[in-house]
Amino acid sequence: MAMTTHSHRDHRVLASLVLAFTCFRLMSQTPLNPPSPPPASIPAAEAWLAGTALAPEFRVPATREAWNTRRAEIRTTLEGLLGHLPPRPMKPVVTTVLREDRGEYRFEKFTFDNGAGATVAGYVFLPPQAQVRGPLPAVLYCHWHGGQYDIGKDEMLRTNAVPVAAGPALTRLGYVVLGIDAYCFGERNGQGPGGPAEKGSAGEMTASKFQLWAGRTLWGMILRDDRMALDYLASRPEVDPKRIGVTGISMGATRTWWLMALDERLRAGVAVACMTRYTDLIREGGLKAHGIYYFVPGMLRHFDTEAVMALAAPRPMLFMTGGKDSGSPASGIARLEPPIREAYRLYGAESAFESRLYPDLGHVYTPEMWDRTQAWLARHLGP
C-alpha cells in the first residue's frame, strides 16, 4: 500500500515537473509571429462621430472658375446656418458719447442700436490730428472670451489677452482702430433676456437659448454686430475702406476668420490661438474648451472649417496657434492647411496664407506673435 502511494506521488511530481518545464520552454521562446494585441476600445467621440451623418471630406475644385462658384455656395450655406438674422440697417445710427484727446491718440466711445433689442458700445482710436494724412488704414479689433465677461472692448486698453494694449499700440502705427462689446461682454454683461440678474456664463447661456428659439444662433448675432461695426468703421471719413483688416485672439480669432469668410471688405486678417477644425476638436475631447456661443447647428453636415477659412482666399490671412492649445488641436491644423493652401494657389497667392504652429505653447499671445501681427498688417494694409 505504501509502495502504491509513493508510486502515485512520484507520478504526480513527475507530471508537475514536465508541465513546469514545458511552460518554461514556451515562455522563454519568442514566437516568430506574436499574436496581435486585442483592439483598443473605440473612444466615445469616435462612436458618436461614426453614428452621425457627416459631410464628405471637403475638396477645393481644380479651377478658379469652379471654386468661385463653390465659394459662393459655401457662403450662402454659412449665412443660412447662422439662422434667420435680422437684416442689418443700411447704415448704423451711431451716437458718440465721449471724445478725448489723449495725446498720443484720440479716443471716442460710441453706441448704436443693433435693431435686435440690444445697444452696442464700442471704442475708436485715432492717430493725433496732426498725423492724419488722407484716408488711413484701419483695423477691426475683436476681443476674446477667456471667461472675462466684464472686459469686452476694454481689452484694447489692457494686457489681459495681448502683450500690449492693442488699441493705442496699433494707432501709434497709423491705424484707425475700432472694437465693440460682443453679446454678454463689457457693458453688455447682464444685458441679455434675463436682465442684470444673469451675468457671465448664465447670461451667455440664456442669450444662446433665446437666439435658438428665435431661429438663429448667438454666434450669428455676434458676427452680425461685428459687421455693423465694420459698416461704421468703413464709413468714417478718416478711413480708407479699401484697407481694413481684422484681428483677435481666441474668440476674437474665430470672429476674425468667420468675418474674413463672410465679408469681402476685410482685406487682411490675423487670427491668434484659435485655428480649429471641429471634427478634430471632437476627436480629441476638446468641446469643453469652447463656450456655447461657438456652436453652429448643422455645420458638420455640410463641411468642416477648412471650407470657411478657404473663403478668405486670395486675401492675406495669418494664423498663429500653440501646439498644446486644447481648443485648436494640432492634428486639425495639419488637416486644415492643405485645402486652404489649394484655394490660395488657384489665385497665385500662396504667400498670402500663412499658418504658424508653436509646438510648445498653449492658448497664449506672445510678444513674438504680436511682432508678426504688426508686420503682417503693415505688409498688407500699410501705412
User: With the C-alpha atoms ordered 136, 93, 251, 214, is the resulting torsion angle positive or negative?
Assistant: negative
Assess if residue 359 is contained within a domain.
Answer: yes
Q: What are the backbone dihedrals phi and psi of residue 174, each rounded to the nearest 5 degrees, phi first?
A: 110, 10
Q: Which residues pair with 270 in a beta bridge?
A: 247, 318
Q: How far apart are CA 293 and CA 371, in angstroms?
A: 30
What crossing angle do the helices spanning 251-262 and 64-81 adopt, rounded to 10°?
Answer: 120
Mean pLDDT, consecutive 10-residue segments, the chain of 383 residues?
36 37 34 37 81 94 97 98 95 95 96 96 91 88 98 98 98 97 98 96 97 98 98 96 98 98 98 97 95 97 98 98 97 97 98 98 98 98 86
Q: DSSP labels for 245-271?
A: EEEEETHHHHHHHHHHHH-TTEEEEEE
Q: How far apart are CA 92 and CA 84, in angstroms?
A: 19
Helix (H, G, I), strand (E, B) or coil at 91: coil
Assess if residue 133 is contained within a domain.
Answer: yes
Assess if residue 158 is contained within a domain.
Answer: yes
Residue indicated by cell numbers 442689418: 88
Res 130: pLDDT: 60
Q: How many domains does the chain have?
A: 1
Element (H, E) at 180: strand 176-180
Assess if residue 376 is contained within a domain.
Answer: yes
Assess if residue 29 is contained within a domain.
Answer: no
Supply the pTM of this predicted model: 0.88
Assess if residue 39 is contained within a domain.
Answer: no
Provide the CATH number for the domain around residue 328: 3.40.50.1820
Assess if residue 38 is contained within a domain.
Answer: no
Print the domain residue range for 64: 52-381
Assess if residue 105 is contained within a domain.
Answer: yes
